[in-house]
Amino acid sequence: MEADNLKKLQETISIEFKNIDLLKQAVVHRSYLNEHSDFHLDHNERLEFLGDAVLELVVTEHLYGEFDNPEGELTNWRAALVNSKMLAEVGRQINLEESLYLSRGESKDKGSKARQYILANAVEALIGAIHLDRGYEIAGQFIHEFMIAKLPHILENKLYLDPKSRFQEESQARVNYTPTYRVHKESGPDHKKHFVIGVYLGDELVCEGEGTSKQEAQTDAAEKGLATKGWTS
């Protein structure tokens, strides 16, 4: 089954590995080795480190070559292309989750933020593995096909702005209101706080967001607010 998953993954990304162990290592999470200490490969964190650098360089070269915008704008666009949410989306697009080597506990934790980060890191590790196995050019082709191809959608929908900035911009343009945020609930000890924050347009409560900090809860509320109002595209 594992071999079948890796074969399907290679077919999906249209890259055939010379050294299949590099591909396999790219999808080994640290938690798997805690339960399988005799596994013949290391976890994927070193490949992730390499892939992160290759990804940033390929995206940076593309933006520098194609656009004459100020550095600050290009930096925001790059961040939108390489952040964990985008990488996790690519991971789901290529069905990478099916190939991950995870502990039993992590295997059950589908749909969580932790799983999103695991998936995003595995995509970076995959890029590192492609770079080592097939070279920079092939790694670049993968990045262009699955990441840079999303740039027009990002620019058209201003996804390079953080959710709070996007929600404020949309609110001011559409209903002439600047959103405000109010803490609805604060719980937990100092080292493990939990906040529930509402985002308002005037007196209207649009929705609530949650997080381990006020900033995180506000960002969550803004992101949900965009969806609630249908301002996501």
Q: Could you write out the three-class secondary structure of the chain? A: CHHHHHHHHHHHHCCCCCCHHHHHHHCECHHHHHHCCCCCCCCCHHHHHHHHHHHHHHHHHHHHHHCCCCHHHHHHHHHHHHCHHHHHHHHHHCCHHHHCECCHHHHHCCCCHHHHHHHHHHHHHHHHHHHHHHCHHHHHHHHHHHCHHHHHHHHHCCCCCCHHHHHHHHHHHHHCCCCEEEEEEEECCHHHCEEEEEEEECCEEEEEEEECCHHHHHHHHHHHHHHHHCCCC
Catalytic residue among 106, 124, 208, 223: 124
Domain boundaries defined on the chain: 2-156, 163-229
pLDDT digits (tens, 9 = 90+) for 126-169: 999 999 999 999 999 999 999 999 999 999 888 898 899 889 98
38-91 tens-digit pLDDT: 899 999 999 999 999 999 999 999 999 999 999 999 999 999 999 998 999 999
- pTM for this prediction: 0.80
- CATH number of 2-156: 1.10.10.10, 2.30.130.10, 3.30.310.50, 1.10.1520.10? 1.10.1520.10
Domain 163-229 listed as CATH 3.30.160.20: yes
Instruction: Reply yes or no on whether 124 is catalytic.
Output: yes
| Known catalytic residue at 204 | no
Q: Of these residues, 52, 106, 170, 223, which one is catalytic?
A: 52
